[in-house]
C-alpha cells in the first residue's frame, strides 16, 4: 500500500488515468482518514449552517494542476496564508465546486461524473 510519487501521478495525468490514483488503496485509506478529521461532514454545507455527510475528499488546488499537493492537507498561498487543500464535501457541493449544477427537482445520478471516487 504505497503512496504514488509526484512523477507517477504526472504520468497518470498524462495518460488520462487518474482513476488509478483515486482507486489506489493508499488514497482510499488516506481520504477516509482526512474525512474523519473533518468529522465526516461536508465543510461547505457546514459553513452554510447545514449538515450533510461528506462523501468526497476534494483537492482545492486540482490534482491535474498541482500533483505535488496530492496528499497535502494544507497549502500556503503566495501571501504566506495557509489554506486547507483537502476538503471533505458532499456530492452536490463537489459538483458545484467543479461547475456542474443540477436543475431544481433533479437528483444527482449514482456514481461519479469524473475519475474521482468517493
- Identify the pLDDT of residue 118: 46
Instruction: Give the domain ranges of the chain.
Output: 6-97
Residue 55 pLDDT grade (very low, low, confident, very high; cuts 50, 70, 90): very high
Cell of 67: 500533483
| Measured distance CA(87)–CA(74) in Å, rounded | 10
pLDDT at position 17 is 97
pLDDT digits (tens, 9 = 90+) for 63-110: 999 999 999 999 999 999 999 999 999 999 999 998 887 655 555 555
pTM for the whole structure: 0.81
Say how far apart CA 105 and CA 62 lie, in whole Å.
Answer: 29
Q: Report CA 20 to chain centroid distance, whole Å.
A: 15
% of the chain residues with pLDDT over 90 = 81
Amino acid at each position: 500500500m504505497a503512496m504514488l510519487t509526484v512523477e507517477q501521478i504526472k504520468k497518470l495525468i498524462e495518460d488520462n488515468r487518474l482513476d488509478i490514483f483515486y482507486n489506489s488503496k493508499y488514497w482510499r485509506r488516506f481520504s477516509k482518514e482526512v474525512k474523519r478529521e473533518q468529522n465526516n461532514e461536508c465543510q461547505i454545507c457546514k459553513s452554510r449552517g447545514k449538515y450533510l455527510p461528506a462523501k468526497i475528499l476534494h483537492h482545492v488546488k486540482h490534482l491535474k494542476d498541482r500533483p505535488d499537493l496530492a496528499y497535502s492537507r494544507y497549502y500556503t498561498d503566495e501571501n504566506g496564508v495557509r489554506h486547507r487543500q483537502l476538503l471533505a464535501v458532499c456530492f452536490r457541493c463537489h459538483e458545484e465546486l467543479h461547475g456542474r449544477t443540477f436543475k431544481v427537482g433533479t437528483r444527482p445520478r449514482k456514481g461519479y461524473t469524473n475519475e474521482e471516487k468517493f
